[in-house]
Amino acid sequence: MADITGALHITHDGRELTLRLSMAGLGRLQNQHGPSIGGLLDENRGEDQLLNFGILVDAVSIALQKGMRMDSEEADDLADDLVSADQGIVARLLEAAFPEPQVAEKTGAARGKSAGKPRARR
């Protein structure tokens, strides 16, 4: 079975964790930090522009709450540890939430070809 879009699987302190940043989670982040989530989704943001660290922790916390069914207080604490240990976790989480389309390329659908059985001749 294919993994659910938005799921990121990691190991931390010997514990297997699933972080899932769903559309509802992204919406919560937008409600808290604005439409671009404080610049997190801003493609024009320069490499030298520092993000608010609270946004990074919030994103991981929300993903833990969804992926592990964790309460917010426990998720906030663990998210702080995860982001402190690996700031790249948020980039990987966003990549999981917005994967590149691969199915269309493999099936030919991207070129306008049918992916199913050929039609019967009449």
Where are the chain's structural domains?
Answer: 7-111
Radius of gyration of the chain (CA): 18
Running DSSP on this structure, what letter comes out for residue 44? T
CA distance 78 to 61: 7
pLDDT by 10-residue block (mean), the chain, 122 residues: 75 96 94 91 77 93 97 98 95 89 53 49 54
Q: What integer pLDDT is reported at residue 114 of this predicted model?
A: 46
Q: What integer pLDDT is reported at residue 111 of this predicted model?
A: 47
Between the alpha carbon of residue 84 and those of residues 5, 25, 54, the distances in Å are 25, 21, 11
Q: What integer pLDDT is reported at residue 47 of this predicted model?
A: 72
Q: What integer pLDDT is reported at residue 109 of this predicted model?
A: 47
Q: What integer pLDDT is reported at residue 42 of this predicted model?
A: 83
Q: What integer pLDDT is reported at residue 102 of this predicted model?
A: 61
Q: What integer pLDDT is reported at residue 2 of this predicted model?
A: 47
Q: What integer pLDDT is reported at residue 121 of this predicted model?
A: 56
